[in-house]
Amino acid sequence: MPASSRNFVGSGFGTIKLVSTIVLALLIQFWKLCTTAALVVFLIFWFEGGIVASITFFLAIFGLFYYVQDMLLYHPNQPPMSRLYVELPSTLGLPFENHFIRTQDGVMINAVYIPRLHPGAATLVFFHGNAGNIGNRLLNAYSLYNSCGFNILMVEYRGYGKSQGSPSEQGFYLDSQAAMDFLIKRPEINKSRIIVFGRSLGGGVAVQLLTEPYYSQYICALILENTFTSIQAIGGVIFKLDFLKFVPQFLIKNKFANSKKISSIRHPTLFISGLADNLIPPRMMEELYQLSGSSYKRMVPIQGGSHNDTWMCPGYFESIANFVHEVSVDF
């Protein structure tokens, strides 16, 4: 079979698997709720009439749409066992410290710190995507550690890996702040060389952190990889539902409105875009680049880079190392 045909078939099966997983999860999680709601609507219709029953029905639909968004966005159990087993850097021969950090709202999150042996090294705060755990990104961290010479702090969101709590947008923002508090308190960390990295959903966490005045003063640069403009926009693309862009904001539970925030960020910013990304269109990275308020920004298109594997492509680590070197020299 030609390579193009195999890619098309693989993409098709991937879409079918995603949709099937979502539908199955909805059926499992909400069949009791739907049955109860149907009974309530029937009773209201019986006692109060059709108008009140119709209003109740539509309110139930809106409520279901609002709360089901978490299931569609956060996937801490994929791949399977991701909440039970988190691989540690020792498997790759890296030094590390395993920490549990308390957030402002009292949730304990897991973070793994991989230190360099020489003082003054730049520190990379790593925010991953919406599935799996920090252990799934160890090979990426290993290469960043060796190719770019970073200390690396890998942050596990609430509800993921060994962290407590449940995933939420505001919760993730608190997790990122707790990670920064952890670094700021460490005397060996060079506070003028903290770099925030966000991939995919992690880009939304990183962008928000750069808008926080207290924390942004300690950050020297931002790196975004294969990140979307907003959840509302990417939702319309993934599910091919153009009408989603007309849905009122109050019905969107998780916004991650990166396109609205990026213009306020003045820090040096590197945009890394995998041109073979079939999940988040590269045009969204281009849009973020154009909207960025930074006077020192770089766009690096990576040929053949898919959504999760851009870091494995030629030129990836060189681009990051060169950017950080430029930032260190010029700023």
How far apart are alpha carbons 296 and 277 in whole angstroms? 25
- 301, containing H or E segment: strand 297-302
Q: Residues 82, 168, 176, 200: which is the catalytic one?
A: 200
CB 138 within 8 A of CB 89: yes
Comparing CA positions, the residue from 218, 199, 219 lying closest to residue 268 is: 219
- Cis link prior to 79 (omega < 30° from 0)? yes
The beta-strand segments (E) located in 41-169 are 97-102, 108-114, 123-127, 151-155
Q: In what order do the strands lie in the sheet with 123-127?
A: 97-102, 108-114, 151-155, 123-127, 194-199, 219-225, 269-274, 297-302
Q: How far apart are the first and last CA of the chain?
A: 52
Q: Residues 143, 259, 307, 319: which is the catalytic one?
A: 307
Residue 28 CB neighbours (<10 A): 9
**Pairing status of strand 297-302 against strand 219-225:** unpaired
The verdict on whether 307 is a catalytic residue reads: yes
The verdict on whether 330 is a catalytic residue reads: no
The verdict on whether 277 is a catalytic residue reads: yes
Q: What share of the chain is helix, strand, coil (3-state, %, to 5)?
A: 50, 15, 35
Q: Residues 128, 168, 277, 292: which is the catalytic one?
A: 277
Which residue numbers are catalytic? 200, 277, 307
